[in-house]
Structures are given as structure tokens and as C-alpha cells.
Chain A
């Protein structure tokens, strides 16, 4: 079985400050890891994903995430946020156990303050 935990439901941060959104997962099989962003009244869109190789993954809009297998984490970071980054961020995991299973976390609402 797989699961995803996003530890923070809401994260307020001032504009131009750094931010980290936390994601932990559990799985008995190898997994792929994703971060998606959802702007108000829109569908989700991919920020970045980890498939294999380098554990530091760079995505769109200046975001990056680091895969840490020993800590089963995939935290999302941005060194300097903008007002336009205000959105909900979802961590997701997929793994194969008979069929592919896709699990999304409960989301973290990032609020960037002026």
C-alpha cells in the first residue's frame, strides 16, 4: 500500500521569502514522485517529478524538490516566492503493485503575503 502525507495544510509566507512544502510518503514498492499545483478554479498542473537519477529535481516557476529515500521525503522548495505562487500544492506518488496506483496528498495551501 502507498500513502502520502503533506504535513502542513496551510503555509503563509511573505513575498521574496524562501518556502519549503513538506511531503512524506510510504510504499512497499519503488515509486515515482510528483508535485502538482492548482490555481483557483483550475485543474492541477505538473510542477516537477522524480523518476530516477539525480535526487534534486528542478521544475517550472523556479521550484525544486529533493528526493530523500532514507527519509522517504520529497520536499518542495523555492528560494524566493512571488504573489503569483499563491495556490494549492499537491504531492503525489505512483507505484506498481499489480496495477499502477496513484495517490495524492491532501494538499498544502500556500499563501504569499505582500
Chain B
């Protein structure tokens, strides 16, 4: 079975450009999570969806960040405009349900560098 798929795996862009990260969760999973990992701040939960509906976006750093889940098999995280401090590894994860005890399955991540 395919795991969580993220694209692109690497992205290099210039400050001010729009960046779109994509995620395909595991088929049948109802919850999807976006995380950001940096050396300084560790792993931070940005937003999570349940049944395509955003449940908690309190971790989204500012209005430059937006996330959508138009259907059960696709989600995007968009940064517009991007800034150098957005450089990080962005992970998408999915789980069977929203219940707190569910295992999250992580994708390989997108390594973003904003120059």
C-alpha cells in the first residue's frame, strides 16, 4: 500500500514567491495533518483536517499560510508570499480518525528553502 505522498520533495524559491505544497493521504484515512520542522522550533502542528474540514488551525503562523482539503485524497499548504524564515521541512501526516489515540502516518516531507 502506498503511504502518504508529498510533492515536491524539495523546493527552492525566492522571497516573495508563492509556494504550494501537496499531500495525498493514505486511502481511507479521515484525518490529515500539516507539520513544520525546524532546528529552532522542532516539530510544530500547523493545521489538521477531519473529513476534509479544518478542525484546528491555531498553529498556522500567519495569514501568509493557508491550507485546503478539497477532497479526501488531496490537500495543499500554500505560502504567499514566502519569506526566508519559512525555510523548513514540511510534513503531511494522516490517520484513520480524529480520535486522539490514532497513529499518525507521516509522509517523507518537503524540504523548502526560501532565498
Where the two chains meet, the residues of A that have a C-beta atom closer than 8 Å to any C-beta of B are 31-32, 34, 36, 41-46, 49, 51, 90, 94-96, 99-107
Contact = CB atoms under 8 A, between A and B. Distances in A.
Interface of B: 4, 33, 35, 42-45, 48, 55-56, 91, 93, 98-101, 103-109
B42 to A, nearest CB: 4
B101 A102 contact: no
Contacts of A31: 100
A62 to B, nearest CB: 19
29 contacts: A32-B101, A34-B103, A41-B108, A42-B109, A43-B109, A44-B43, A44-B91, A44-B104, A44-B106, A45-B105, A46-B103, A46-B104, A46-B105, A49-B103, A94-B100, A94-B101, A99-B55, A99-B56, A100-B56, A100-B98, A100-B100, A102-B48, A104-B35, A104-B42, A104-B43, A104-B45, A105-B42, A106-B42, A107-B42
A70 B23 CA distance: 40
Contacts of A90: 43
A50 to B, nearest CB: 9
B42 A43 contact: no
Contacts of B55: 99-100
A43 B99 contact: no
B101 A43 contact: no
A106 B104 CA distance: 17
Interface-centre pick from A96, A100, A107 (highest chain B CB count, 10 A):
A100
A41 B44 CA distance: 17
B43 A51 contact: no
